[in-house]
Chain A
Amino acid sequence: MFNYLANPTRFLRLQKAVQPWLIAATVLVLGYGLYLGLFVAPPDYQQGETVRIMFIHVPASILAMGIYVFMAIAHAVGFIFRHPLADAAAKAAAPVGAVFTFISLATGSLWGKPMWGTWWVWDARLTSMFVLFLLYLGYIAVWQAVEEPHRASRIAGIVALVGVINVPIIKFSVEWWNTLHQPSSLLRKGGPAIDPTILTPLLWCIAGFALLAAVLVLHALRAEVLARRVRQMELAQVGRAG
């Protein structure tokens, strides 16, 4: 699969075949998850209806972190195996990850106002999410600033890899500094600390968001492959004319 996709034409063919099914799966899973979360799940006994923000907030946060790790792995693959689509995949994933990070920050802010009484606090998790957003912006800015694509991909790879080394350090440092946000209740010793009536829709939403991310990244990757092809054709044309 890995080597098979090293040929961009094959990738385009596969992507075209898979995309409608992925879109259908996204609509079904995300729709079902949101329906369960927004209409079926009971309101929380303390937080009332605001708990429903969670069905957007938690999946967006998980994907925001997951996509950054994906980008770093993609660049590592690009550096080690010279896989022609790896850095393009990272480039395609970056705006998607940045938007998920923004959604996580925005919904968290909306949730924080009724629960904590303030839009924003400099709490550990909020701070590290904000820093992750800055890392995304820096990464995207590198692609914008370096004109020659091959050079841009190497520089962006260095930025992504240094960033991913730094993510756990940032996380640890801000926890050292200040903590107000509740700790993770999903992944912890002794199983999730959430009632099944809320956990089930949450898991559906997470799966739906992951499918959505896959659809968007594959689509952006297709656009990137085509853009590179156009660039090569233009260069060839200039070469023939000159």
Chain B
Amino acid sequence: MLSPFLSVIGRDVKLAFRAGGGIGTAFGFFLTVVVLLPIGIGPDQALLQRIAPGALWIALLMSVLLSADRIYTADYEDGSLEVMAIGPAPLEVVALAKALAHWLTAGLPLAIAAPLLGFLLNLRADLVPGLLLSMITGSLALSMLAALGAAVTVGLRKGGLLISLLILPLYIPLMIFGVTASTGGQAGPDISTSSYLILAAVVLLSVVVSPVASAAALRAHMR
């Protein structure tokens, strides 16, 4: 069970790095949002400082969403997904591995890079550790839910549009708890620890639900 799991992760990570995969696209998109934002709203340092954590979260979320449909589309089209489905590991394990590989190649690197790009937005230095921690944790759930959306829409011609409509509602709690965990939000910094704990709970829930639901959706598509 463990070796198919690891080999699916290894394969997907390699593909993402070597085959001109999504990492570059996701990074480029992230950078575009961070650079265009101050140009769009004006170079007011105080305003930028106030919105920086939220803006970085939005950029992270959009970049993960943008790279979502590469999780299953290619494998579904060339038939490797069917090979994985009849392989030794249950499809749930494959789905978990695919989602983790997406996190390793999209969510995690972006979360680590975000505080660096935050300096372009005049991010307060004392917020960096909290932001980094909440983004690394939260991006795991972003990838899990993106994988679920990708599994549900695999093989549909209008999949790209549908995926954002389906995932957007699921991302709202993550966004709220992620941003309040980074900054304390309206209620002030006291609230950030409890927000972080709830964020972690939602992440754990997504790790349980996403592989099961993705596998069910993939089975329905491959019947």
B166: which A residues are within 8 A, CB to CB?
138, 141-142, 159
Residue ranges of B at the interface with A (Cβ–Cβ < 8 Å): 148, 152-153, 156-159, 161-162, 165-166, 168-170, 172-173, 176-177, 180, 185-186, 195, 198, 202, 205, 209, 213, 216-217, 220-221, 223
Q: Does A158 touch B at the CB level, under 8 Å?
A: yes
The docked-state distance in angstroms from the alpha carbon of A176 to that of B187 is 9
Instruction: Pick 15 A–B contacts, CB within 8 A, sort by A.
Output: A134-B169, A138-B166, A141-B165, A141-B166, A142-B166, A145-B159, A145-B162, A158-B217, A159-B166, A165-B205, A166-B173, A169-B205, A173-B198, A176-B177, A177-B186
- Asked if A158 and B202 make an inter-chain contact with CB atoms under 8 angstroms apart, the answer reads no
In the complex, A178 has a CB within 8 A of chain B: yes
Q: A154 touching B169 by the CB < 8 A rule?
A: no
Contact yes or no, B180 A142, CB < 8 A: no
Chain A, residue nearest B161 (CB)? A141
Residues of B within 8 A of A146 (CB): 156
When distances are taken between beta carbons in the complex, the residues of chain A under 8 Å from B186 are 177-178
The distance in angstroms between the C-alpha atoms of A178 and B176, with both chains bound, is: 10
**A163 in contact with B169 given A151-B220, A155-B220 (CB within 8 Å):** yes
- Interface status of A23 (Cβ within 8 A of chain B): no
Residues of the A chain whose Cβ atoms lie less than 8 Å from the Cβ of B165: 134, 137-138, 141
- Chain A stretch 116-166: residues in CB contact (< 8 A) with chain B: 127, 131, 134-135, 137-138, 141-142, 145-146, 151, 154-155, 158-159, 161-163, 165-166
Residues in chain B near residue A142, CB distance under 8 A: 152, 162, 166
Contacts of B220 in A (CB 8 A): 151, 154-155, 158
Given contacts A145-B162, A162-B213, contact A176 B169 (CB under 8 A): no
Which chain B residues lie closer than 8 Å to A172 at the CB level?
173
A174 at the B interface (CB under 8 A): yes
Tell me the nearest residue of chain B to A163, going by C-beta.
B169
Whether the Cβ atoms of B158 and A166 lie closer than 8 Å is: no
Determine chain B's interface SS by DSSP, over half rule: helix
- Which chain B residues lie closer than 8 Å to A159 at the CB level? 152, 166
Pair A169/B173 contact, Cβ less than 8 Å: yes
Taking the complex as formed, is A22 at the interface, i.e. its CB lies under 8 A from any CB of chain B?
Answer: no
A151 to B152, CA, bound (A): 11
State whether the Cβ of A38 lies closer than 8 Å to any Cβ in chain B. Answer: no
Tell whether, in the assembled complex, residue A138 and residue B162 are in contact, meaning their CB atoms are under 8 Å apart.
yes
**Cβ-defined contact, A145 with B209, below 8 A:** no
Assembly CA distance A131 to B174 (angstroms): 14
Interface membership of A170, Cβ < 8 A: yes
Least CB distance, A208 to chain B, in whole angstroms:
30
Contact with B along A176-208 (1 / 0, CB 8 A): 111000000000000000000000000000000
Extra contacts besides A134-B168, A141-B162, A151-B221 (19): CB < 8 Å? A134-B169, A138-B166, A142-B162, A145-B156, A145-B157, A154-B217, A155-B220, A158-B220, A159-B152, A161-B213, A162-B209, A162-B213, A165-B205, A172-B173, A173-B173, A173-B176, A176-B176, A176-B195, A177-B185
Do B168 and A162 touch (CB < 8 A)?
no
**B172-A131 in contact (CB<8A):** yes
Measured CB to CB, the nearest residue on chain A to B219 is: A154
Give every chain B residue within 8 A of A154 (Cβ-Cβ).
Answer: 216-217, 220
Query: What's the nearest-Cβ distance from chain A to residue B72, in Å?
Result: 13
How many Å lie between the Cα of A166 and that of B173 in the bound state?
Answer: 9
Q: How long is the Cα–Cα vector from A155 to B163 in the complex, in angstroms?
A: 13
A158 touches B213 (CB 8 A): yes
For B202, give the chain A residue with the smallest CB separation: A169
